[in-house]
Chain A
Amino acid sequence: MADAELAVGRRVGVRHRAFTRERLVFGYSLLVPAILYMALLVGVPFFFSLYLALSDASVGNQVAQYVGLRNFIAIFQDSTVRLALRNTIVFTVIAGIFKIVLGTLMAFLLVQEIPGKKFIRSLVVLPWTLPVAISALAWKWMFDPQFSAINYVATRLHLIHGWPNWLGEPGLAPAAVIAVNVWRGFPFAAIVLMAGMSAVPPELLDAAKVDGATFFLRYQHIVIPLIAPILFVGLLFDTVFTLSDISIVYLLTMGGPENFTEILPTRAFEIGIQAGALGRGAAIALVLFPILVPVVYFLLRNLRRREAL
């Protein structure tokens, strides 16, 4: 009897193991396309960049030699790269804060039931949908040292005195670049937040209102926890976009004046592509990686924890 039970148990165990193995094989085979996709589109370029950064590759010399960490040592000895690193972090943090604040305000406005809501929403996303070259050039004209429309209007409204050189002063140029980045990016934040807010059950907010919760308490204790997953993904996207955004700086200031708007992507482009030092350019570009990894890790970990709750 005991033997029979054991035999049945073994058969069941074997079948279970076989079934589990089949499921595993089937499951992983479903993952293969996604893994291949990631490996080809993300892994290959990343490891190629790493290979370039550890070599003396240049645009004219396709046979590169391994140079170890020489490129990384050299770039950190370059005061312009250090300035670019500082600028990159400052730009990202300040622009991120402004985009969150303005995006939130805009999202609150957009969720209101007002006439022409759809039209207003489509207008709001225009800065984000316009090609960056067009919007940056328009801003360049508005910041022009001779014909600045901003200066013209602001001086006539007595908001400013004098004629600020927005793109030529070390104190103003970074602010101008951040302003354009915020102008372009906050509609994205607004749309993301608006999508989240639309999903918040109104009865929760009504109940909180009945209990006497103020607007800020409702926002802090109900809205934010509920839209946190969307908020984190939006923040992650925006951080990556801002850290790697080359176009606004390139079109507005080319990194000037005196490198005060130089950021890592523009410096990497100047050294790696324009000057042809691929190895050193790749090393500069990879400086972003250790900055991004903890940011991404922190955001994704928080996201997972909240989803588990």
Chain B
Amino acid sequence: MAQQAKDGCGRRLTRRQFLTAAGAGAAGAAALKLAPWEAGAAPAQIRGTSLRILTWSHFVPAYDTAFDKYAADWGQKNGVTVRVDHIPIDQLPARIASELAAGAGHDIFQMNGQIQTTLYYKNMVDVSDICDRLGKQGGGWIPMAKNVAVVGGHWYALPEFYIPQPVLWRTDLFKEYGLKVPSTWDDLRAAAKVGKPKSHAAGMAISHCNDANHNWRAVFYAFGVKEADPTGKEPAWDSKELREAMRWSKALWSEGMTSEVFSWDNVSDNRSLDSGVAIWIHDAISAIRSIQDSNPTLYNNVNIAIDGLEPRGPAGRFAVVDPTILGIWKFSKNQAAAKAFLEEYGGDVKFSLVESKGYNMPYLKKWYTKPMPSLGDDPKVKLLQDWDKVAYVFGYPGPATAAASEVLSTFVLPDMLARYCRGEDLESAIKWGMGQIKSIYAKYKS
């Protein structure tokens, strides 16, 4: 009797069975060189510590609630006091800068949309070990992940999720006007041209807002425009493809949009669609989530994405997404807990997909196996399950460098297009834009 033990199910094991199981477990852990938390248990040294996380106020408010609970539960399980602070997305860059300047603040911080890993990486903890393990478990990272989190071959942040901005188009209006189901950017331009005189203009912001940045990049990339060389060091905007994209974009604006787009902010397109005006917009799915309950008729009449992807252009289909990453400050006094949290959260992609109702798209390839959690069950958003095939980030085809980030944050692309749309000569508008871009890249080279 004394030579028998019980397993987890209460079954009795012989001494031989017990020793075999224990030996195999120990050998396995030793062979994999797992740290305690890597095997599912938190290291003893993080117990009794505290962890502070800085993240955005999610566009799906329920996700914030779920994330806070997730973090609190993780803290309770591991004996760590976790505090999560949510701030508006626009305030993240300033907050991150001030925390580094002060050498104090949160342990984990989020970069969202404006990715500046190349600027901050010297002050961020190398999390290559975590990302390598998560990559292996998750079937590898989609190519874009490296562009936002890797500098010099090292991972300095955990790719958290990205936000897709598909075309949201009105099936009822397309049917009413006898328009074919869109497949290309030209199809959408034709639809906008028909819709505008009937008070159903299309809309993409050409203004100082983030939507303008990624929407027009999606169009420009589809015309073959490249922001930089593959290393990200030399700007490569100035090309015949840029001129073609500019001409086409101006035609789209003049034929199918109104001047309202020059003053739109990040939610103006949502309002345009949700008020029943826009025949199509190009935005995150939050635009229709907000009318799912309040206006089910309109909700049912809006389709997401084109052929399940972005519209096709002369150079293919390109989606320019809003990436988010999570980094750990080197000044953090609790890096062990921060790494333990990132590893668990980064591996729990299902939580992110389900609680965000398909808003948070994963960077790990395995999770694109259909049906994806949350997306696969929802006929409205299940078309987004192939988004990894078209997902790119600013700076394409290079990484999201500090220079590319500054081009983004100073709205050079929307301003260059706005100048041309308002009557400035094409070459003059491009000359202005290239002057801004070259000056920015030169600064980071010197």
Contacts and interface: CB of A to CB of B under 8 A. Distances in A.
A226 interface: no
Given A253-B208, A258-B415, A145 B436 contact: no
B367 interface: no
Contact of A170 (B93, B422, B436): B422
A206 interface: no
B271 A146 contact: yes
Contacts of B409: 270, 274-275
B345 interface: no
B207 A256 contact: yes
A79 B432 contact: yes
Interface in B239-271: 259-265, 268, 271
Given A60-B123, A146-B277, A79 B259 contact: no
Nearest to B277: A146
Interface stretch (A14-22, A161-169, A179-187, A214-222): A161-169
B259 A58 contact: no
B410 A80 contact: yes
A78 B433 CA distance: 11
B431 to A, nearest CB: 11
Contact of A59 (B100, B271, B411): B100
Interface stretch (B69-77, B112-120, B135-143, B335-343): B112-120
Contacts of A196: none
Contacts of A276: 93, 97, 116, 119-120, 402, 405-406
Interface string A123-151: 00000000000000000100111110000
User: B interface, how many residues as a size bin?
Assistant: 35 or more
A165 B263 contact: yes
A168 B119 contact: no
A99 interface: no
B419 A60 contact: no
A280 B120 CA distance: 17
A112 interface: no
Contact of A254 (B119, B121, B209, B402): B209
B439 A274 contact: no
Contacts of B422: 170, 258
A61 interface: yes
Contacts of A170: 422
A167 B97 CA distance: 30
B121 A60 contact: yes
Interface string B415-432: 100110010000000001
A259 B317 CA distance: 31
Contact of A258 (B402, B406, B419): B419
B122 A61 contact: yes
A96 interface: no
Name which of B208, B259, B415 has the most chain A CB atoms within 10 A of its CB. B208
Interface string A238-256: 0000000000000001111
A278 B265 CA distance: 27
A74 interface: yes
A275 B97 CA distance: 10
Interface residues of A, number: 41
A254 B208 CA distance: 6
B208 A255 contact: yes
A275 to B, nearest CB: 4
A166 B264 CA distance: 11
A275 B406 contact: yes
Interface in B98-137: 100-101, 114, 116, 119-123
Contact of A168 (B100, B207, B435): B207
B94 interface: yes
A173 interface: yes
B262 A59 contact: no
A254 B435 CA distance: 21
A277 interface: yes
A168 B93 contact: no
B410 A275 contact: yes
A44 interface: no
Given A145-B268, A146-B275, A280-B443, A59 B410 contact: no
Nearest to B103: A62
A56 B96 CA distance: 19
Interface string A58-81: 111110000000000010011110
Contacts of B94: 269, 273-274
B204 to A, nearest CB: 14
B418 A258 contact: yes
Contact of B439 (A56, A74, A147, A278): A74
B171 interface: no
Contacts of A167: 263
A140 B263 CA distance: 10
Contacts of A256: 207-208, 262-263, 411, 414-415, 418
A59 B207 contact: no
A281 to B, nearest CB: 10
A271 B419 CA distance: 21
A169 B439 contact: no
A265 to B, nearest CB: 13
A288 B343 CA distance: 47
A270 B410 contact: yes
A62 B264 CA distance: 37
B286 interface: no
A277 B443 CA distance: 9
Nearest to B436: A80
Given A275-B410, A276-B405, 6 more contacts: A60-B120, A165-B260, A254-B208, A276-B406, A277-B406, A280-B443
Interface of B: 93-94, 96-97, 100-101, 114, 116, 119-123, 207-209, 259-265, 268, 271-272, 275, 277, 402, 405-406, 409-411, 414-415, 418-419, 422, 432, 435-436, 439, 443, 446
9 contacts: A77-B439, A79-B436, A144-B268, A168-B260, A169-B263, A256-B411, A258-B422, A274-B94, A275-B409
3 residue pairs, one from A and one from B, having the closest CB atoms: A168-B263, A168-B262, A256-B208
